[in-house]
Chain A
């Protein structure tokens, strides 16, 4: 035996890592982080579905669209103050976003640490592109979200330089610019990919896919949501660009 062989034998039989975890808790596991991602993700799914429904009011014309925006602010009155419900929903979304992104960051960091040395060659046998782009796709959605809020909500920035206090005209002005429409379509592609994997992933994380049949159904739900949500959102900017929706 050479000296390196001797060292190898010693290494194989001693391990410096402590053995079993004392005081283990279900709540402190990586799976709990995933459960928080799944629940916050489902909140987002509910949000994007209702938001998309609201946007489709644009096909009803200026009045219907602006009435809907106004209605959101007056629901629950006089029980709730003006914009009361809106703020409750916003708060729920902000909390969900913080939870979702924080868990994503912790899990992404863990995953990086779990494989410090990369493979020289690594092939993917079977997995979907959407499943492998959740992290970058999520960041894309987040960056888009910042612009989107500046554009239509917090900032009311009219990139065409027109009126800003009329939601309908602000929207039409924005999507009359082809490059703005492109930005929104790219974001919707990212959202579609995220929903395609995220929907099935959330079902799996929640432990709802214990059979091959339920797995197939969850994956189908991912496809349906991706197409319906991203497609539904994209209809409005495309229709503006093509002149179907006008001022």
Chain B
């Protein structure tokens, strides 16, 4: 396949960026989207140009690094991560626009790479269960109801990729927040800190400059792990309980 790419290039965080046009040829439809970009970069290297910086790590859909906005959709046209997106989802001769996630809380570091440490700070604010050091307790001594454990497991698949923020018209991280709140809040180990956790994580979310949620739902349809919207309801319910408790 031959493709035309419109790619956002930006030298560093404070530099002005712009869209640049590139052509790639002889792309196999079995390549992943990132491999296609590797081909482009090899070409740019040969020409002595600066290769396009993009983030990636595992290339197997579990780390959440490969955040690209492809033709206006987070991670492109399929419900998966960019590394698991294959070129057969595109057609020969197609023009593809590639941009970084756009959010005030995710500043562009270079080209297509954004700084997602805002998510780390949200986790740091309360997305954990405090545990004493020492030998690990016997896991089976704390029974967890099966339905709650399943729900926790399902939403624990969130890889922190930020696609929900990228897709949200309000730039809100509520789906990510909701996934973490639900994951920890459904398990017995998460109970002691449940209502301080929600207040602290939401405060950090707001502080980072993410927008408020208006329940549009673009987040959930963009999420590569298909985290459902009901985690946002859970988030709201937990915050309402914290409000009642005067926290």
Contacts and interface: CB of A to CB of B under 8 A. Distances in A.
Interface of A: 2, 4, 7-8, 11-12, 15, 17, 19-21, 24-35, 107, 110-111, 113-127, 131-132, 134, 197, 200-201, 203-212, 214-215
B218 A125 contact: yes
A61 B220 CA distance: 51
Contacts of B11: 4, 8
Given A11-B13, A127-B221, 14 more contacts: A4-B12, A20-B204, A29-B206, A107-B214, A114-B103, A117-B102, A119-B72, A119-B102, A120-B8, A125-B73, A206-B240, A209-B229, A210-B237, A215-B229
Contacts of A215: 229-230, 233
Given A29-B239, A110-B211, A24 B216 contact: no
Interface in B126-174: 167, 169-172
A121 B240 CA distance: 37
Contact of A20 (B19, B200, B213, B243): B200
B110 A113 contact: no
Q: What are the nearest 9 A-B pairs in CB distance?
A: A207-B237, A114-B171, A24-B203, A114-B211, A30-B212, A126-B221, A123-B72, A121-B72, A111-B170
25 contacts: A2-B50, A8-B12, A8-B53, A20-B124, A24-B204, A29-B199, A31-B236, A32-B239, A34-B212, A111-B169, A111-B172, A120-B19, A121-B72, A122-B69, A123-B73, A125-B73, A125-B167, A125-B218, A125-B222, A127-B217, A132-B169, A205-B236, A207-B237, A209-B230, A211-B230
A215 B170 CA distance: 21
B238 interface: yes
A132 B104 contact: no
Contact of A208 (B199, B221, B233): B233
Contacts, number: 194
A26 B243 CA distance: 5
Contacts of B232: 204
Interface of B is mostly: mixed
A131 B215 contact: yes
Given A11-B12, A31-B236, A121-B99, A132 B73 contact: no
B193 interface: no
A184 B63 CA distance: 53
Contacts of A15: 115, 117
B209 interface: yes
B215 A204 contact: yes
Contact of A111 (B69, B167, B171): B171
Given A113-B104, A115-B103, A126 B218 contact: yes
Contacts of A20: 121, 124-125, 200, 204
Contacts of B88: none
B71 A123 contact: yes
Contact of A120 (B99, B172, B217, B237): B99
B202 A7 contact: no
Contacts of A197: 215
Residue among A2, A15, A122 with the highest chain B CB neighbour number at 10 A: A122
B169 A26 contact: no
Contacts of B124: 19-20
B94 to A, nearest CB: 13
B41 interface: no
A7 B12 CA distance: 7
Contacts of B210: 114
A204 B229 contact: yes
